Amino acid sequence: MRLLLTACATTALVASGPLTAAAADQGPQGPVGGDLLTAKPTVVADGAAPPAVQASAYVVADLDTGQVLAAKAPHAKLRPASTLKTLTALVLLPRLKKTDPVIGSDADAGIIGSKVGVYPGLHYTVDLLFQGMFLASGNDAVHALCAHDEGGIPATIQRMNAKAKEIGALDTHVTDPTGLDADGQYSSAYDLALFAQAGLARPDFAKYASTKFTNFPNAGNKGTYQVANQNKLLFNYDGALGVKTGYTTLARNTFVGAARRNGHTLVVTMMNAPHGITEDASNLLTWTFTNYSKLKPVGTLVKAEGPPKTTTQGKPADKPASGIARPQRSRTVLSPGQAVQSLAFRVPVWTYAGPPVLLLGLFLRRPRTLRRRRH
């Protein structure tokens, strides 16, 4: 059904021209981070030509200076898969006590997607669940952590959207904290770089992101089993700091990786890559480290504005009536492939049944028409 909808969307693109998509902007100045950082599928770099990679979108930035050194469609809104867990961690880490006990539930164990092995009735610590979330990308660990926090999953989603807005990640909208494909859930390579920058500034985030192995308890507390970090960059790239990988059928491979060499800390984020994600990330990082002195910034990672100011009553303070420009949203042209994907994942799942049902109706009515012609 999704293939049929995609085919219909492609036909519409050919007939009516390219779709446009709103790129998140910061005031009237243009796209967040600089005028060159748009949703257009064009590689942007100054000083040296970056290696070709297969991802539809990527960003390479210096986390210490905030300078973006190379980018491709950095503001294209795409499915983030499990790289969205970097934002989940940014919300949950300051709220949960690492030594708190958490008892696994049926809901944790029954969640779909990647799991680390949270069993109903088994006792865990918040610390161990964070390890399961980072290393194994465990959706069950994420569910357990969110359920342990006040308000559960719905409140976590609200806090994630608020956090994204707070740090300037205006391309991001969250509907599922695990990163699973969900209607209306998207992010961008630029926003993933912001999450990495904010996360690696926290010692606990940095520790989880760079941990290679941990041990998880078996059901019935019968020993433990080893869990390895899925981010292969940690094991084969000198100076790697880890961070997060992701994959779903619709998002394909997504990636957030960081490394430190020669006094520079770089992050590379990639979205919608078919394969070879670790090799491409390594090539981009090596190219940037090698050509660092030649490269000129093509944009910046915006600084967090901080939480809204509050009055003594605890309500958000009113914004000045004048003198502050309202955020603007420029319209940038997407390539046909990106436009189709952007359209497909914004349409509710139930609408995919529409075209087949209409076609079925046409086929069912056809025999009657033929019979009338014979008479």
Q: Per residue in 141-153, pLDDT tens? A: 999 999 999 999 9
The answer to whether the annotation marks 244 as part of a ligand binding site is yes
Exactly one of 56, 82, 187, 282 is catalytic; name it.
82
What pLDDT is recorded for position 268?
Answer: 98
Checking if the pLDDT of 248 tops 70, the result is: yes
3-state helix, strand, coil in the chain (%, to 5): 40, 20, 40
Point out the least confidently predicted range of 113-122, 207-216, 266-275, 364-373.
364-373
C-alpha pair distances (Å), 292 with each of 71, 192, 261, 371? 15, 22, 11, 75
Q: Which residues pair with 310 in a beta bridge?
A: 316
Position 30 pLDDT exceeds 80: no
- Asked if the model's pLDDT at residue 90 lies above 60, the reply is yes
pLDDT at 21 over 70: no
For the cut 50, the answer to whether the pLDDT of residue 263 exceeds it is yes
Q: Give pLDDT, residue 29.
A: 59
pLDDT band at residue 177 under the 50/70/90 scheme: very high
pLDDT digits (tens, 9 = 90+) for 307-364: 444 333 333 333 333 222 323 333 333 334 433 343 343 344 444 445 444 444 444 4
Average pLDDT over residues 295-316: 63
The 3-state DSSP class for residue 125 equals: strand
- pLDDT of 220: 75
In the annotation, is 85 catalytic?
yes
Average pLDDT along the chain = 81
With cut-offs at 50, 70 and 90, classify the pLDDT of residue 219.
confident
Judge residue 149's burial from the number of C-beta atoms within 10 Å of its C-beta, 0-12 exposed, 13-18 middle, 19 or more buried.
middle
Q: Which residue has the tokens 């606990």?
A: 204
Helices (H), the chain: 2-16, 85-92, 106-109, 126-135, 139-148, 152-166, 189-200, 203-210, 233-236, 277-290, 336-346, 354-374
pLDDT average, residue stretch 156-179: 97
The whole-angstrom distance between residue 111's C-alpha and the CA centroid of its chain comes to: 19
Please report the pLDDT score of residue 26 as a whole number: 44
Residue 137 bears catalytic tag: yes
Provide mean pLDDT across the span 222-246: 95
Most confidently predicted of 26-40, 202-216, 343-357, 358-372: 202-216
Given the residues 114, 137, 187, 188, select the one marked as catalytic.
Answer: 137
- Does residue 366 have a pLDDT over 70? no
Q: Which residue has the higher pLDDT, 54 or 304?
A: 54
Mean pLDDT of 183-209: 97
pLDDT digits (tens, 9 = 90+) for 48-66: 999 999 999 999 999 999 9
Determine whether 82 is an active site residue.
yes
Q: What is this structure's pTM?
A: 0.76
Question: Of 72, 77, 85, 163, which residue is the catalytic one?
Answer: 85
Residue 95, both tokens: 């709220």
CB 179 within 8 A of CB 32: no
Domains and their CATH numbers in the chain:
1-19+339-375 (no CATH), 22-93+138-209+230-333 (3.40.710.10)
Mean pLDDT of 101-110: 97
